Amino acid sequence: MEAKHVIVGTSGHIDHGKTSLVRALTGTDTDRWEEERRRGITIDLGFASLEVEPGLNLGFIDVPGHERFVKNMLAGIGGIDLVVLVVAADESVMPQTREHFEICRLLGIRRGVIALTKSDLVDEEILELVHLEVEDFVAGSFLAEAPVIPVSSTTGDGLPDLRDALAAAAGATETRGTAGLLRLPVDRVFTMKGFGTVITGTLSAGTLQVDDQVEILPGGQLARIRNVEVHGQSVAVAAAGQRTAVNLGGVPKTNLERGATLVQPKRFATTSQLDTRIELLPSAKPLKHGAPVHLHLATAETVGRAYILGAQGRQASVDPGSEAYVQLRLDNPVLAVAGDRFILRQFSPLTTIAGGTVLRPEAPKHRQKDEWRPLLDALLERDRSRILDLLCRERPYGLAGSELIALTGEEEPLWLVTAQETASLAVLREKPVWVCSVARIGDAEARLLEALERYHSANPLEAGAPVEAMRSGQFGDAPDIFAEHLLRRLQQSGKIRFDEDLVRLANHQIRLQADEQAARDRLVEAFQAAGLQVPGVKDLLASLSIDGPRAQRVLATLLREGVLVRVSHELVFHSTAIRTLKENLGAFRGQRINVAEFKALADVSRKYAIPLLEYFDRQKLTLRDGDKRRVL
């Protein structure tokens, strides 16, 4: 049975014993830096691991408790599965306890354990009082039913109970799926002698293995995976939910920093504009339209401004304790997909004010009249069918599966199934996926049919419109897949027909005026009577009772109908004469004939014989062999 890996994060006020607790549980001192040990506080993220029971591994992320290092805490807390809320029994709930707790709640963490540390420093009465205060503090939250375990990292009291509580909570934690596309937010970068650049992070989606090629975003630099470790052990494959160390080939440390993300190449894009849903904390001040904020998303941090969608004027604001749709416009690009959770901190002073969910990465700027709400509602509810339908309605020619990957991080097969099960959508191509709104296809069909109707009205003697001219005129900016699907669909429904490179309405018939009909009859009679001794086309057209352009159109009509056959620029024959000559030529199949023999067979002069033979060469009825032809 494959081992289960669960990421556990510590949270709590400075000096409440988070690092000591992790050390007591795992034997690992997560304070890596000399300054941390000298000052006795955690400044940056620390990591440790523990096999809490066979087949169940916990990866600990120890975060700083000091308010000055909350940004470092945020870089690690976003990847955890459950939290250990640490409250010192000799101090109870403190300001950073509250901020850390709110951050965990806003990030959507759903499970945890509460550790009352330093229990050896207080008597039973104080311990019971702190226990009650903590229960009151978390009442109604995701930690309302969490076990509260008094522990002492110094004496070891309570540690077995804490391990049992962690094992129970971790066992109930849902295992992260590996079906998504690779995303590994980088929380640490360093170099190792003999190895080169190493990054660490919690694998948030997909899998990673040696020799994979990855892309580093932002920036788009490509790298190769030289080695992968999980909790210090080399592994063949790392999966979503595991603390992972990756040795990268071909990338200097100077090109990497916390906040970057390793992804599968050419699948994702960074963005500086996000549509989101936020929840403003009750303790925060009203968030004004266009207010500057700090964004913390996975391990990335940047600044930007928050614009309230649907705001009426610049004085609009989000009230404390309420929710709103907000567009974040950032100073620096980040990698985000729909469903990612984030934290907003006030620009100054730096305090946590809100959390939220990314809904639409690479969002457009919205005008007052734009219908942005239905799509954001669907994205918030994770209604795939509605999401796909609304996105396709925005695009006249549909959208590719690659856009859906960049939006959600979910692979194409999932969206293909969604499209196939949604009546309002049509799958134009399964691999790679291309999906379009049925309503948009209907609009395009109507436009094309109307355009053909106009063409036939303006060109009554033309059998149809040139296909390429019609495509470029009506759908010049459409991808080939859309135009091809549309034409094929109309042909299959019997609404249009093709004649080589022409397209026409199925019910279109050439309508000739009286003098044009008379000219048509005259041409047919003349060519039929002439047999293979035809007059020159130019002279014959000039003898008609209609003007030259109309006479040319009548001739073109007869050629398209197959009544007449053009052998060369100057020579046109009636189809009956050509058909009879083909039949006569068939008697020589497998034999070779020369020009003289052909002249005798056709009873024509060299003036006609050479063009006719060249025509039959093009038709693959004869094959030139020296000064003779082989009849095929």
Q: Give me the domains of the chain, ranges plus CATH numbers.
A: 4-172 (3.40.50.300), 183-263 (2.40.30.10), 271-374 (2.40.30.10), 383-510 (1.10.10.10), 514-631 (1.10.10.10)
Sequence-distant (6+) residues with CB within 8 A of 223 are 213, 214, 215, 216, 248, 249, 250, 251, 262
**β-pair partners for 232:** none
Q: Measured over all CA atoms, what is the biggest interatomic distance in the chain, rounded to whole angstroms?
A: 127
d(CA 330, CA 292): 10
Q: What is the pLDDT of residue 116?
A: 95
Q: Tell me the pairing of strands 502-505 and 465-466.
A: antiparallel
* Helix, strand, or coil (residue 344): strand
Please choose, from the candidates 292, 320, 294, the residue with its C-alpha nearest in 3D space to the C-alpha of residue 306: 292
Residue bearing tokens 């599965």? 81
Confidence (pLDDT) at 1: 54
Question: Are 264 and 208 in contact, with CB atoms under 8 Å apart?
Answer: no
Task: Look up residue 471 and give its two tokens.
Answer: 């495509």
The pLDDT of residue 515: 80
CA–CA separation, 322 and 154 (whole Å): 43
The DSSP H or E segment spanning 328 is strand 323-334
Instruction: Spell out, as residue ranges, where the chain has pLDDT lower than 50.
Output: 31-44, 65-69
The number of residues making up the chain comes to: 632
Q: How far apart are CA 256 and CA 390, in angstroms?
A: 38
Report the distance separating Cα 554 and Cα 61, nearest Å: 84
- Amino acid residing at 470: M
Q: Which residues have a Cβ under 8 Å from the Cβ of 302 and sit 6 or more positions away? A: 259, 294, 295, 330, 331, 332, 334
pLDDT tens sequence across 601-614:
999 999 999 999 99
SS3 call for 128: helix
Rounded to whole angstroms, the Cα distance separating 573 from 555 reads 11
Task: Return the pLDDT at 65.
Answer: 44
Instruction: Give pLDDT, residue 77.
Output: 62
Phi, psi of 202 (to 5 degrees): -95, 120
Cis peptide before 413 (omega within 30 of 0): no
Rounded to whole angstroms, the Cα distance separating 612 from 618 reads 10
Sequence-ordered list of residues with C-beta below 8 angstroms from that of 150, at least 6 positions apart, any chain: 89, 116, 119, 127, 131, 157, 158
Question: Which of 90, 98, 34, 21 is CA-nearest to residue 61?
Answer: 21
